[in-house]
């Protein structure tokens, strides 16, 4: 009965959300956070509908069901990405391949600051890692192979270049991400005691025209 209840709420929220989006299409921008502003009122309605569905689906015993729920409600992401008990807004979020969002991290595409509602798309490129309890503000773009440290935050509309480790409040460049390898057909091995690094090349079992997607 519990599973039937969750599925029923999930389907009802999705159908109601389709109707709401037909009446008022979601859009990015800066709006007045007050009653009477249609963008604010419909944003509140969309947020509450998705919040109910996401909270219920995250109590489902199958750990990957929340990713399917996020995808179904409009977040662009693949099953290769992972959300470890983190929270993301339900719209204007785009994840690349193999993105990891740490525990208690928050990815916000919308935020209320004072009397204004800010909605701006957040993009996390391929192989991005977001540390635990980090906060990404609306408009953040994180480049490929970049890492945002735990407890860090980003500014509104901040762009993080690919291949760097970022840390701080707000984040700044800490150092290049030396673990981001341009070729993923090479296994990196290190002898910690003797401080030796050596590479082992292995064959990627995939078609030639698909290798750049790996």
Give CA–CA dist 2/24, Å, rounded. 32
Contact indicator for 95, 77 with CB cutoff of 8 Å: yes
- What are residue 108's DSSP bridge partners? none
Question: In which residue are the tokens 């390898």 written?
Answer: 181
Q: For residue range 155-201, list pLDDT tens digits in order.
A: 999 999 999 999 999 999 999 998 776 555 555 566 666 666 555 55
Q: How confident is the model at residue 213 (pLDDT cuts 50, 70, 90)?
A: low
Q: Is 184 inside any structural domain?
A: no
Q: Is 199 inside any structural domain?
A: no
Q: For residue range 123-163, list pLDDT tens digits in order.
A: 999 999 999 999 999 999 999 999 999 999 999 999 999 99
Q: Is 107 inside any structural domain?
A: yes
pTM of the complete model = 0.81
Q: Is 128 inside any structural domain?
A: yes
Q: What average pLDDT does the chain have?
A: 86
Given this model, what pLDDT does residue 56 score? 83
Whichever domain contains 81, its CATH number is 2.160.10.10
Question: For residue 203, is pLDDT > 70?
Answer: no
Q: Is 206 inside any structural domain?
A: no
Q: Is 201 inside any structural domain?
A: no
Residue 47, burial from CB neighbour count under 10 angstroms (0-12, 13-18, 19+): middle
pLDDT more than 90, % of the chain = 57
Q: Is 74 inside any structural domain?
A: yes
Q: For residue range 59-80, list pLDDT tens digits in order.
A: 777 767 788 888 888 889 988 8
Given this model, what pLDDT does residue 207 score? 60
Quote the number of domains for the chain.
1
Domain with 107, as residue range(s), is: 2-176
Q: For residue range 82-102, list pLDDT tens digits in order.
A: 888 888 998 999 999 999 999
| 194: its two tokens | 């003797």
């Amino acid at each position: 009965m519990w599973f039937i209840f969750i599925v029923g709420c999930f389907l009802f929220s999705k159908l109601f959300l389709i109707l709401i989006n037909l009446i008022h299409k979601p859009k990015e921008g800066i709006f007045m956070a007050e009653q009477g502003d249609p963008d604010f009122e419909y944003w509140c309605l969309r947020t509450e509908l998705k919040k109910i569905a996401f909270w219920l689906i995250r109590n489902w015993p199958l750990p990957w069901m929340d990713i399917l729920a996020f995808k179904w409600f409009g977040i662009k992401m693949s099953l290769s990405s992972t959300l470890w008990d983190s929270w993301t807004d339900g719209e204007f979020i785009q994840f690349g391949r193999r993105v990891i969002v740490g525990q208690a991290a928050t990815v916000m595409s919308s935020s209320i600051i004072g009397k204004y509602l800010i909605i701006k798309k957040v993009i996390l490129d391929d192989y991005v890692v977001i540390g635990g309890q980090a906060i990404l503000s609306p408009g953040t773009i994180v480049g490929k192979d970049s890492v945002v440290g735990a407890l860090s935050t980003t500014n509104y509309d901040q762009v993080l270049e690919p291949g760097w480790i970022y840390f701080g409040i707000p984040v700044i460049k800490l150092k290049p991400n030396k673990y981001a390898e341009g070729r993923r057909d090479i296994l990196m091995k290190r002898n910690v005691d003797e401080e030796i690094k050596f590479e082992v090349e292995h064959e990627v079992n995939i078609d030639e025209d698909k290798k750049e997607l790996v």
